[in-house]
Structure 1
Amino acid sequence: MARISEQEAGGRNVVAFLDMLGVSEGTNDGRQETKDDGYDVLVGGKLFTGYADHPNVLVKLSPSLSSTAAGRYQILYRYWPHYRALLKLPDFGPLSQDRYAIQQFKEQRAIADIQAGRFDEAVAKVRNIWASLPGAGYGQHEQKIERLRDAYLRAGGTLVEA
């Protein structure tokens, strides 16, 4: 479960969307080992300890693909210093990771869609950030929108009627 309060996040739907991302990214889907709701997961499935800063571990996933993705939302190290300074984040802890992801929602102009329950529209707006989202186009495994919608609803999110 996301650590940010509904009030600070901007509502229950935003928290549910964060929880859905944990499922989508595979960091908090019930199959991945984690000691902290996915906030402690490195890309590839190993865990890291300590939240003082982004772990910045380069993981070789295949002969042609390496990544520094870490945490519940699989944040790449190359972006972390900018957002840590911008958002004045004290560490790489769960609350900082939540705030980082919400900033991504805002920058992609998806926050209003998330808050209003326009789930599919919001996913389409942020899929360029998270390779696991349907239609991301990074050549990695993409989740099915139905599975993610279900995870969002189970997390307490609501959908607007079309």
Structure 2
Amino acid sequence: MLFVLSGLLLSRASLIGSQAMAAALAISLVPGSLLIPQAKADEAEPKLLFQLPPPAPRLFAITPERRALLNTIRFAEGTWAGGDAIGYRIMFGGGLMPTLERHPDRVIRKSGYASAAAGAYQFMPFTWLLASRTLGLQQFGPDVQDQAAIFLIQRRGALALVDQGLFTPGLAAKLAPEWASFPTLAGRSFYGQPVRRFESLKRFYEDNLAKLRGLQPVAKAEEPSCEPADSLRCRVEALQKLP
């Protein structure tokens, strides 16, 4: 394309070239103090130099009903230990973890079985990884294990049943795929392993829940004895009580 300027015939290329030269000349006339070096210009751009904190752990409330079920799981899995905290250190086979800093992730063979289950609720490594990452849990202490166990109960769709305070065959069956010691509706282990009888688990649960709620058996109040025993009134009352 051609342009006519002041009687001169100029090509488009020559016109663009002259404009570029003019721009370069204008920049060269600007004082150096007003020019921003490229490196400093990059530094002037806002940058996020901090990291967001990790999400807070999701904590479940520990009600008497939930604690009673947690204790029942420990009873079924063989880690109850009379309610002692040492149960949180038990590995498959009965050995103890030297530390609660992490899941031991160690396969142990005993009585024809091999398992890496560990802790009060006998977490398998992959199950523990799922629960701890979902809840943002750190280490492997008792409180952390409790939270992870409730997460697994909720994951099986059984937490609402737990909160009713009743240990039913349906509740046990929902948890059977998570804990092999819990019976299915047919009374067998979901994995063909040793299983606790439902009646045994229910009895433990109910006794434990009563203690957690502070409900102790109340002795039947005895009627005060009639005094003096040889009086006519007392003799009449004694006759009335005879079958």
- What is the identity, as a one-letter code, of the residue corresponding to 2:128? W
Q: 1:42: how far off?
A: 0.4
> Deviation string for 1:77-122 (max 9, x for gaps)?
1222222111111111111111111001111110110111231122
SS at match of 2:85: coil
SS at match of 2:89: coil
Establish whether residue 54 from structure 1 lines up as the match of residue 106 from structure 2.
no
1:131 aligned partner: 180
> Deviation string for 1:11-33 (max 9, x for gaps)?
21111000011100011154xxx
Establish whether residue 117 from structure 1 lines up as the match of residue 165 from structure 2.
yes
1:21 aligned partner: 73
Higher helix share: 2
Aligned match for 1:154, one of 175, 187, 207: 207
Aligned match for 1:40, one of 82, 86, 89: 89
- What is the identity, as a one-letter code, of the residue corresponding to 2:135? L
Q: 1:62: how far off?
A: 4.6
Q: 1:44: how far off?
A: 0.6
Q: 1:61: how far off?
A: 2.5
Give the conservation status (yes or no) of the 8 Å contact 2:76–2:201.
Answer: yes
Structure 1: unaligned runs, 5 residues or longer: 1-6
* Whole-angstrom CA distance in 2 between matches of 1:14 and 1:78: 24
Higher relative contact order (CA 8 A, sep 6+): 1
Q: 1:35: how far off?
A: 6.5
SS at match of 2:193: coil
* Whole-angstrom CA distance in 2 between matches of 1:112 and 1:82: 21
Structure 2: unaligned runs, 5 residues or longer: 1-59, 214-243
Establish whether residue 80 from structure 1 lines up as the match of residue 128 from structure 2.
yes
- How many residues end up aligned between the 2 structures? 147
* Whole-angstrom CA distance in 1 between matches of 2:86 and 2:73: 12
* Whole-angstrom CA distance in 1 between matches of 2:135 and 2:197: 32
Which structure's CA Rg is the greater one?
Answer: 2
- What is the identity, as a one-letter code, of the residue corresponding to 1:151? F
Give the conservation status (yes or no) of the 8 Å contact 1:41–1:72.
Answer: yes
* Whole-angstrom CA distance in 1 between matches of 2:141 and 2:109: 24
* Whole-angstrom CA distance in 1 between matches of 2:204 and 2:88: 18
Deviates more, 1:77-86 or 1:106-115: 77-86
Identity of aligned residues (%): 31
Establish whether residue 92 from structure 1 lines up as the match of residue 144 from structure 2.
no
SS at match of 1:116: coil
Q: 1:156: how far off?
A: 1.5
